[in-house]
Amino acid sequence: MNAQAVQHADHDHHDHGPAKGWMRWLTTTNHKDIGTLYLWFSLLMFFVGGTMALVIRAELFQPGLQLVQPEFFNQMTTMHALVMIFLAVMPAFVGLANWMIPLMIGAPDMALPRMNNWSFWILPFASTMLISTLFVDGGAPAGGWTMYPPLVLQTGAAFPMLIFSVHLLGISSIMGSINIIATIMNLRAPGMTYMKMPLFVWTWFITAYLLIATMPVLAGAVTMLLTDKYFGTSFFNAAGGGDPVMFQHIFWFFGHPEVYILILPAFGIVSQIIPTFARKPLFGYSSMVYATASIAFLSFIVWAHHMFTVGMPVAAEVFFMMATMLIAVPTGVKVFNWVSTMWKGAMTFETPMLFAIGFVVMFSIGGFSGLMLAIAPADFQYHDTYFVVAHFHYVLVPGAVFAIMASVYYWLPKWCGHMYDEKLGQIHFWLSAIFVNVLFFPQHFIGLAGMPRRIPDYAVQFADFNMISSIGAFGFGFSQLMFAYIVIKAVRGGKQATDQVWEGAQGLEWTLSSPPPYHSFSVQPHIK
Amino acid sequence: MDTRKPMGPLVLKLFLVPILMFGFGYLMVPLYDVFCDLTGINGKTGDAISTAQAQQMEAETTRELKLEFVASVNQDGPWEFRPSHTSMVIHPGQTYTATYYARNLRDIPATTQAIPSVSPAKAAPHLNKTECFCFTEQKFKANEMREMPVTFVVDSNIPEDVDTLTLSYTLFTK
């Protein structure tokens, strides 16, 4: 309550401010309040999912079974993925969209403020339903977050809870996305043409389309699972004329665009931060927009690269391999543009910039291992090994998560009006950057050597690298407590931030006071 | 606030997208079957044909194919299930009957459904059955054992480079 009280006091009350008391947060339709709710929720879930990851890494510290039973281990891998994807990373991006899109395009609020409230408040219920499966008969879902049948159909009482929480999370993100699209299409300030929009807005615009196109497909797939289990349908049941492989096709038709949903807003964030600290306009703005759109388009035609080993005709393998490799072209354009933006820039290395540069370097490592996995004949070796784990953690942790942290450091002074502790921020970056590599880099090696993913025990030849990886995991995990401390410290007080906050910052959000008034841009600015 | 355009039409259109995509998810089911049918890549055998149709085919006695039989039980169900012979040599166009042996290992009646799959995929549409225990569910009494026939003909359009086919059945407990 104390932190909230401080926040109240900090708001600039020149017109009517927020309602008093805790009901404010329940009934709010203000984009800043809802953005804040999303971000706190996401931080909480980041620690919940992180704790699960530490259970996994603690068990894998040594070969043999020490701490947990294999069943529980599998629940941890499954739940860690679901929590991190649907409850940590996605809500964090939606929270950033809520806070920043109206400020960046000069809109007074989101287009559909009441639906916005609903989008957020579904989340606590959905996440409670999902996480409470840990305590029901048969335990939490343990068949992997991909929910492949027939294995997932063996889930106990948790099964319908899993399905319904996925439904709710889908509804929440679909409503959030519709709101974002409507805001961007209808509420841009006069003169803010599409090709003048900041890249964070552009990447979210495209991400929102991906979300409304693919989340319903996931909803359909899990509904089929539900009816297969309880209502006698045979979508994925071979005995009734169905096909379990079909689930994989439908799932990854959602799943591959989903991985771009998790990274496109990160591209947008990095494209905001690097120009600020390089003190140069973004290199190749329009090519960035087109590259984002190309990635989004290609994401719909590459899904089967997740399932090269199911037995596909060679023609299909070649098609999906080539289409996947094609994604490296627009992604390469982006990395090139970020590096070119920094080229001969007057760079300074405040914490947001450090995280952004860390993103560019380490996301590229994840991109390269992705290219290796795209090679269909090689994928038969890598499939379902720790190499895959290393790959997607490189794009998601020093990729998406670093971008989210960069954005928090970048915009936190704007949100709460106080500078964060720069020294602690830098320490946090270096601890995170070192430990994340200690954590995930060795997983490339054990993966190539053949260690399968999702197992609680392993052959002794993998022991050393697993131990290093686990040390990195605990180092990385505990470093994040520092992040929470820095954020809370800045929210509670600190050096007053200027309106522009950063010397090189450009854009509408920096024309407002720090923190911005509760209702900003009631009169829309004109963009020349 | 006055600069707002009307939201209604846009929001309605936007809501239409997820609704249609939900439908598309379900549409992928028949599309998948059609796609597999056209390409034969799911190992589905050719359509069932009548005995008369099978007898009209001309036996190509100069060409020999090896047909292998495989049996498996889904999720280690309580069944014993195996082909009576592991392989046979056949001529395209000639009708043959092979049998599979199955036994209910439980002391209660049970029903099974066998699901066929043919490999290689390009040969699958050319294996046509006139009669098969997989066409219907099979009811077994407690501990009953019996041989179940499958009558088939491989048509002569089967690609030249195929010399071995594998016919596999998986037994599911219903």
The CATH number of whichever domain residue B71 belongs to comes to: 2.60.370.10
Domain total for chain B?
2
pLDDT of amino acid B5: 66
- Do residues B32 and A316 lie in contact, with contact meaning Cβ atoms separated by under 8 Å? no
pLDDT of amino acid A1: 38
pTM over 0.80: yes
- Do residues B101 and B82 lie in contact, with contact meaning Cβ atoms separated by under 8 Å? yes
Let me know if residue B113 belongs to a domain.
Answer: yes
Of A180-189, A205-214, A365-374, B154-163, give the lowest mean pLDDT range.
B154-163
Question: Among A36, A131, A150, which Cα is nearest to A141's?
Answer: A131
Q: Report the pLDDT averaged over residues A197-210.
A: 97
Strand order in the sheet with B145-154: B79-83, B95-104, B145-154, B127-132
- pLDDT, chain A, mean: 94
Let me know if residue B2 belongs to a domain.
Answer: no
Chain A residue with minimum CA distance to B137: A239
Is A305 an active-site residue?
A: yes
A117-135 confidence digits (pLDDT tens):
999 999 999 999 999 999 9
Let me know if residue B34 belongs to a domain.
Answer: yes
Note whether B57 and B12 are same-domain residues.
no
- Cα distances (Å, whole numbers) of residue B8 to A112, A114, B11: 10, 14, 5
Is A432 an active-site residue?
A: no
Let me know if residue B104 belongs to a domain.
Answer: yes
With a pLDDT cut of 90, the percent of chain A lying above it is: 91
Range of the domain at B28: 7-39
Note whether B34 and B71 are same-domain residues.
no
**B7 has a pLDDT exceeding 90:** no
**A12 has a pLDDT exceeding 80:** no
Note whether B60 and B103 are same-domain residues.
yes
**A3 has a pLDDT exceeding 90:** no
pLDDT of amino acid A6: 43
pLDDT of amino acid A140: 95
- Cα distances (Å, whole numbers) of residue A460 to A62, A389, A466, A471: 8, 19, 10, 17
Is A369 an active-site residue?
A: no
B15–A178 C-beta distance less than 8 A: yes
Q: Residue B55 and residue B8: Cα distance in Å, rounded?
A: 66
**B141 has a pLDDT exceeding 80:** yes
Note whether B15 and B60 are same-domain residues.
no
Let me know if residue B17 belongs to a domain.
Answer: yes
Contacts A–B by Cβ distance under 8 A: 87
Distance from CA of A216 to the nearest CA of B (A): 5
**B155 has a pLDDT exceeding 90:** no
Residues 6+ apart with CB under 8 A from A108: A102, A187, A519, A520, A521, A522, A524, B1
Q: Report the pLDDT averaged over residues B119-126.
A: 83
Burial zone of A287 (CB within 10 Å; 0-12 exposed, 13-18 middle, 19+ buried): middle
A332-367 confidence digits (pLDDT tens):
999 999 999 999 999 999 999 999 999 999 999 999
Strand partners, B70: B168
Note whether B56 and B27 are same-domain residues.
no
Q: Residue A328 and residue A371: Cα distance in Å, rounded?
A: 8
pLDDT of amino acid A5: 43
**B121 has a pLDDT exceeding 50:** yes
Q: Contacts of residue B3 in chain A, CB cutoff 8 Å?
A: 190, 524
Best mean pLDDT range from A250-264, B4-18, B105-119:
A250-264
pLDDT band for position B40 (cuts 50, 70, 90): low
User: For A239, which of B1, B41, B172 is closest by C-beta distance?
Assistant: B172
Note whether B167 and B113 are same-domain residues.
yes
pLDDT band for position B98 (cuts 50, 70, 90): very high
- Do residues B84 and B101 lie in contact, with contact meaning Cβ atoms separated by under 8 Å? yes
Is A121 an active-site residue?
A: no
Note whether B114 and B140 are same-domain residues.
yes
Of A249-258, A277-286, A407-416, B35-44, give the lowest mean pLDDT range.
B35-44
Note whether B102 and B29 are same-domain residues.
no
Distance from CA of B57 to the nearest CA of A (A): 29
A171-187 confidence digits (pLDDT tens):
999 999 999 999 999 99
Let me know if residue B155 belongs to a domain.
Answer: yes
Q: Contacts of residue A150 in chain B, CB cutoff 8 Å?
A: 75
pLDDT of amino acid B16: 93
DSSP conformational letter for A401: I
Of A19-28, A386-395, B19-28, give the lowest mean pLDDT range.
A19-28
Note whether B68 and B118 are same-domain residues.
yes
Let me know if residue B45 belongs to a domain.
Answer: no
- pLDDT, chain B, mean: 86
Note whether B130 and B98 are same-domain residues.
yes
Note whether B57 and B98 are same-domain residues.
yes
pLDDT of amino acid A207: 97
Note whether B34 and B62 are same-domain residues.
no
Let me know if residue B107 belongs to a domain.
Answer: yes
The helix/strand/coil state of A336 is: helix
